Amino acid sequence: MRAFLLTLMFPLVLLAVVSSAAAATDPTVPSDDNEAGSSAIPDYVYAGDFSDNSQIADSARRTTFNLAGKDTITATTWYTAWNGRTLRLVASYPRYPQKQRLPLVHVFHGAGGRAVCNQTFGNAPGQFGFIVACIDGVGQYARGYSYGSPQNLADNAKILQFLRARLPGLRIDSNRQIAAGGSMGGEDALLFGVKYPAMAQTIVAMDAPIDMSKRFWHLPTVRQRALYQECQGTPYLAPACFADRSPLTFAGTLANSTQKLIMYWSVNDEISPQEQMPTLAKAVHAANPSRPFLIRVGNWGHGGAWPPATRNNEWLADAGLVDDGVRADTKHPDGLRIEVDASTDLTDLPSYYP
């Protein structure tokens, strides 16, 4: 009997071992070591047409004005997107006329978002003397999940044209433009700075994904499916699209530019974790060790250090939008501040602490 049981168990154990080994090497099973090269097709591809939950109705072709605080006016107006849609353009600026031309903060929204920079900035534009502007944006296939869509970046490159057409009284200093955003907005800000450097003398990226081939497999299903639509495939099937939407691809360009580069990330960020922004910082530094840039590592939740409306003044000071003395009055003062130069060692950059 014992001999019979052993004879029966041996092929079962062997089958389990072989199956385990096959799963470990099967390219259709995404894993940390085989994500970008995985040929797996997500199940949702066979589940029917893509439904974009970030879709919004077209905006009315009118301009309205509201106070966004005692010092700030918000104008809500419209623009014509690359695909002919009428979408929202929002700008906030000082309530009282300014003698000098003001810097423009060009804000890119996060995944699934739209033009709400008036809400995230509150009274800061009027209090500190700058202009902030943002558009709803629309990708090639997904509205709010554009993830570096070239069409959306091209629309954003027309923002000065849109502002001058709808709000001709704004006095904008075109030599002081800041491309800024958090999460997907940080990805877009980096890509915009690479592709339209004349419109982004400063780049501020916070908690941003920078390698979309890796990030794709960790996105929630709704966002992953949107990115699948944008690239018409997975990283394995559409590598060129994913590379073009990954700031990491352009680390060499960023390393050799003269733009002011500011990167923020958090050790408590579970959304865009360790394989993301620290990797870009190291790649930029490796490509050009003498290139100065700023790293700020803190302990906020994803996007927590972004909204100036909730007293996140530090990055405004870093970008030269407020006096340096305002820096200390910030919501998340803890963490590291690294002014990178040729002598900086980035070997052990703090990243995500699970």
Percentage above 90 pLDDT, the chain = 74
**Residue 352 confidence class, pLDDT cut points 50, 70, 90:** low
Q: What is the pTM of this model?
A: 0.88
Q: What is d(CA 314, CA 317) in angstroms, rounded to the nearest whole number?
A: 5
> By mean pLDDT, which of 4-18, 94-108, 249-263 is the weakest?
4-18
Q: Which domains does the chain have, with CATH numbers?
A: 61-340 (3.40.50.1820)
If one compares 353 and 82, the residue with the highest pLDDT of the two is: 82
**Structural tokens at position 104:** 């423009």
Q: Looking at residue 36, what is its pLDDT?
A: 53
Tokens linked to 288: 């050009």
Q: CB-hemisphere CA count at 13 Å for 178?
A: 23
- DSSP-derived 3-state class of residue 264: strand
326-341 pLDDT, tens digit per residue, is: 887 888 888 899 999 9
| Token couple for 213 | 């081939």
> How far is it, in rounded angstroms, from Cα 322 to Cα 292?
21
pLDDT digits (tens, 9 = 90+) for 174-233: 999 999 999 999 999 999 999 999 999 999 999 999 999 999 999 999 999 999 999 999
The sign of the torsion formed by the CA atoms of 61, 66, 68, 71 equals positive
For 179, the 3-state DSSP assignment is: strand
Question: Which band of pLDDT confidence, cut at 50, 70 and 90, is reported for residue 117?
Answer: very high
- Asked whether the predicted pLDDT for residue 272 surpasses 90, the reply is no
Strand spans (E) along 221-277:
260-266
Q: How far is Cα 142 from Cα 166, in angstroms, rounded to an integer? A: 26
1-39 pLDDT per residue, tens:
444 343 434 444 333 433 444 333 333 334 444 465 577
Beta-strand ranges (E) seen in the chain are 64-67, 72-80, 86-94, 102-108, 131-135, 172-182, 202-206, 260-266, 293-298, 336-340
